[in-house]
Amino acid sequence: MVQGGQETEQDKRLAEDREPETLYGISGSPGIVVGRAVVLRPRSDDLVRYQLKENAIQEEQGRFQRAVDRAEQELQKLRNKFKGDLSDTLTIMDSHIRMLRDPMILKQTSHLIEQKQINAEWALSQALFLVKRKFDHIGDDYIRDRFTDVEYVVKLLLEQLSDHGQQFPTGFAEPVIVVSEDFTPADTVRMQSEKVLGFLTEKGGVTSHTAIVARSLGLAAVVGVENITQLCRTGDTIILDGYDGRVCLAPTMDQQKLYQEYNRQHRAFSDELRWYIHLASETLDGLQVRLSANIEIPDEMEGVIYYGADGIGLFRSEFGYFQQHFLPNEEDLLNIYRDLVIALDPQPVTIRTLDAGGDKLANQLPGNRFKNLHERNPALGLRSIRLSLCEQSLFITQLRALLRASAFGRLRILLPLVSLLSELKQVQEIIGQVMVDLVSEGIPFDPDIEIGIMVEVPSAVTMADVLAAEVDFFSIGTNDLIQYSLAIDRGNEYVAKMYDPLHPAVLRMISRTVEAGHAQGIEVALCGEMAGDVSMAPVLLGLGLDELSMRPSAIPHVKRLLRHSTSRRLNRLAKQALSCKDGQETREFLEKYIADNYGTWRKRL
Ligand code: PEP
Ligand code: MG
């Protein structure tokens, strides 16, 4: 949660006489942007109680009323976005708007402010307590469950009362660079519709989901910058260099000129890359490798088409669950999946089933079910396929939508974080039952739909030969595979330097998975972030992967490498990488290989 963003008089004075300073973090998302900072400081979730003077009561009631008005405007704005939507979305939003004006909340809070002479936040929480007592006595489960809606409305009001309106502030007057301890992946999605050029965080690593979403949406970002919320002030001018993970606070004229030059070079290189968009993804000797897109939200389809992707290799379906305050139903999901499939037909669209958990905290899923799930170690806990198998009604809703959408084009189902054969068997059984149900309901679907698994834990690599016999394709999720094989938390800035995709252990695991898959005649893709990193992609191409899936804008970069290579040269390179003793050795010869064979668009500082 964040608050602030307002430039204070003190900020203004300090910004005027600050010394230039260069800070380093981790390159979260490429791009160079220059802009003014908006620093969002962490907000305490503790509710404060304070007593009011008698003559302050009316003013406090007015403050509460204004918070109600603002919350209503917010909800109306959101509601307008869903106009014409036939799903439950509108109904739910309307009920939330009505609830805001319900005397249980409105009158009760106002009354408590006056009666007990307490601040609005505390009065509101007391009102909520009284409402909960009433709900607890309701026999009907459905109505009792509506208490979640009351809680949501109260949360919205508390956010309005706390001055910052909502989790991520909106309505910036000029393009800004936002700075915070951390953002949730959902905040990053929200930034897209705001005037946000990029962001800086103290936390996070290159494969934290916040960084992944930033790359997908084209927002420049540097993550893991120590103390940035203390060092930077709202109003500071900043150069954010997302390529090198560098931040210049109050940059000198020389630095500004240098970065203008970088931007010019980058634009020239981007123009050159446009040529590749419509060319085939193949080497000079005709080896074809599918270069497909990773996306999180349907809005990214524009980029998928623009950058000439050979399909969608990974649709992270979980973002559709986190973006709203209620769980999507079968029709909501069907609409999303069908539109994707139709838009790309006949190219494949690979949709991964709900991958909640880990850094995409399961307790932030809408609804009550996982609200109290506080795991000591979420990365090793109830995440991904484990969560779907634990909450089968949620899973079946998604599977029904996926199967129904398969009637409209080539849809592939991808199962996340499979670590045991028994999980796969359970899923197969559930899918079989869903198919039987659809047949009996006369609903069409593709009975030969391809089902694949993410290979992202060492047990899946070791057992890849056994798993390959059960599925239609593999997709290697290196973001997690690196974290689980090297025991490095992918979102932890303290160990980020040890998170090494080029560690020979990782490359050997990829190689082993490719061999196991090919021995069973199935395709092996790789959809981790390293697929779209031009400093690593040549090795992956040499390891024999059939598909690399990456953020759409990286596709022309990787295609350029592919089209300037021969399969023999790539294989030789991969062989050499597999024989390295550590990641540093791999990196050094790879850097040289890339500079010699493909060049680079930017001179180093
Ligand atoms: C991965 O782990 O490599 C992957 C693609 O999945 P995610 O980043 O969503 O965990
Ligand atoms: Mg993963």
For atom 1 of ligand 1, the residue with the nearest CA is 477
Mark 372-398 as b/e (b = at least 16 C-beta within 10 Å). ebeeeebbebbbbbbbbbebeebbbbb
Testing ligand 1's pocket by substitution, the residue of 454, 488, 547 carrying the most ligand atoms inside 8 A of its CB is 454
CA 599 to chain CA centroid, nearest Å: 31
Q: Is the CB of 480 under 6 A from ligand 1?
A: yes
| Strand, coil or helix: 320 | helix
**What's the pLDDT score for residue 527?**
97
Which ligand 1 atom is at minimum distance from the Cα of 358? Answer: 10
Can you tell me the distance from the alpha carbon of 67 to that of 69, in angstroms, rounded to the nearest whole number?
5
Closest CA to 551 of 286, 214, 58, 299: 214
Residue in the structure block whose two tokens are 């960084």:
211
CB-based neighbours (< 5 A) of ligand 2, an ion: 456, 477, 480
Question: Is-catalytic flag, 96?
Answer: no
Query: Separation of 212 CA from ligand 1 center, angstroms?
Result: 9
For residue 538, what is the enclosing H or E element?
A: helix 537-542
Which ligand 1 atom is at minimum distance from the Cα of 483? Answer: 2
Shortest-distance ligand to the CA of residue 207: 1
**Looking only at Cα atoms, what is the longest distance across the chain?**
84
Q: How far is CA 438 from CA 132, 154, 392, 401, 426, in A?
A: 40, 40, 17, 11, 19
Can you tell me the distance from the alpha carbon of 1 to that of 183, in angstroms, rounded to the nearest whole number?
8
Which ligand 1 atom is at minimum distance from the Cα of 477? Answer: 3
For atom 6 of ligand 1, the residue with the nearest CA is 477
Q: Is the CB of 528 under 6 A from ligand 1?
A: yes
Question: Is-catalytic flag, 527?
Answer: yes
Q: Exposed (0-12), middle (13-18) or buried (19+): which is 527, by Cβ within 10 Å?
A: buried
Q: How far is CA 182 from CA 4, 203, 228, 322, 479, in A?
A: 14, 6, 11, 17, 19
218 DSSP assignment: T
Contact assessment for residue 542 and residue 573, using Cβ atoms and an 8 Å cutoff: yes
| Structural tokens at position 599 | 């060049």
Which residues of the chain fall short of a pLDDT of 70? 1-18, 41-51, 78, 81-90, 92, 139-145, 163-171, 173, 185-186, 323-325, 359-364, 366-368, 371-372, 600-605
Position 527, amino acid: C
Query: Separation of 358 CA from ligand 1 center, angstroms?
Result: 11
Can you tell me the distance from the alpha carbon of 505 to that of 508, in angstroms, rounded to the nearest whole number?
5
Q: Are strands 523-526 and 547-550 parallel, antiparallel or unpaired?
A: parallel
Residue ranges, CATH 3.20.20.60, the chain:
285-604
| Strand, coil or helix: 396 | helix
Q: How far is CA 335 from CA 340, 407, 487, in A?
A: 9, 13, 39
Ranges of H-type helices in 364-420 = 385-390, 392-405
CA angle 135-139-144, nearest 5°?
40
For atom 9 of ligand 1, the residue with the nearest CA is 316
Mark 492-518 as b/e (b = at least 16 C-beta within 10 Å). bbeebeebbbbbbebbbbbbbbbebbe
Q: Is the CB of 355 under 6 A from ligand 1?
A: yes
Other CB atoms within 10 Å distance of the CB of residue 179: 29
Testing ligand 1's pocket by substitution, the residue of 188, 206, 207, 417 carrying the most ligand atoms inside 8 A of its CB is 207
Query: Separation of 410 CA from ligand 1 center, angstroms?
Result: 22
Residue ranges, CATH 1.10.274.10, the chain:
54-161
Q: Is the CB of 316 under 6 A from ligand 1?
A: yes
Testing ligand 1's pocket by substitution, the residue of 480, 548, 550 carrying the most ligand atoms inside 8 A of its CB is 480
Contact assessment for residue 311 and residue 348, using Cβ atoms and an 8 Å cutoff: yes
Domain at 285-604: CATH code:
3.20.20.60
Residue in the structure block whose two tokens are 């198919």:
435
What's the sign of the alpha-carbon dihedral 401, 403, 404, 410? positive
Can you tell me the distance from the alpha carbon of 471 to that of 452, in angstroms, rounded to the nearest whole number?
5
| Structural tokens at position 332 | 């909501």
Which ligand 1 atom is at minimum distance from the Cα of 207? Answer: 8
Query: Separation of 355 CA from ligand 1 center, angstroms?
Result: 9
- Of all residues in the chain, what percent are helix, strand and coil, respectively (each to 5)? 50, 15, 35
Residue ranges, CATH 3.50.30.10, the chain:
2-43+168-252
| Structural tokens at position 343 | 């838009």
Query: Separation of 245 CA from ligand 1 center, angstroms?
Result: 22
**What's the pLDDT score for residue 156?**
80
For atom 4 of ligand 1, the residue with the nearest CA is 477
- Reduce the secondary structure of 545-604 to three states and give it as a string: CCEEEECHHHHHHHHHHHHCCCHHHHHHHHHHHHCCCCHHHHHHHHHHHHHHHHCCCCCC
For residue 229, what is the enclosing H or E element?
A: helix 228-231
**What's the pLDDT score for residue 268?**
84
Cβ-proximal residues to 157 (8 Å cutoff; 6+ apart), any chain: 64, 67, 68, 71, 100, 105, 124
34 DSSP assignment: E
Cβ-proximal residues to 397 (8 Å cutoff; 6+ apart), any chain: 329, 330, 333
Which ligand 1 atom is at minimum distance from the Cα of 212? Answer: 8
Query: Separation of 124 CA from ligand 2 center, angstroms?
Result: 40
Which ligand 1 atom is at minimum distance from the Cα of 314? Answer: 5
Query: Separation of 30 CA from ligand 1 center, angstroms?
Result: 19
Position 598, amino acid: Y
Other CB atoms within 10 Å distance of the CB of residue 450: 18
**What's the pLDDT score for residue 212?**
83
Query: At the topology level of CATH, where does 54-161 sit?
Result: Enzyme I; Chain A, domain 2 (1.10.274)
Q: Is the CB of 527 under 6 A from ligand 1?
A: yes
Query: At the topology level of CATH, where does 2-43+168-252 sit?
Result: Glucose Oxidase; domain 1 (3.50.30)
pTM metric for this prediction: 0.71
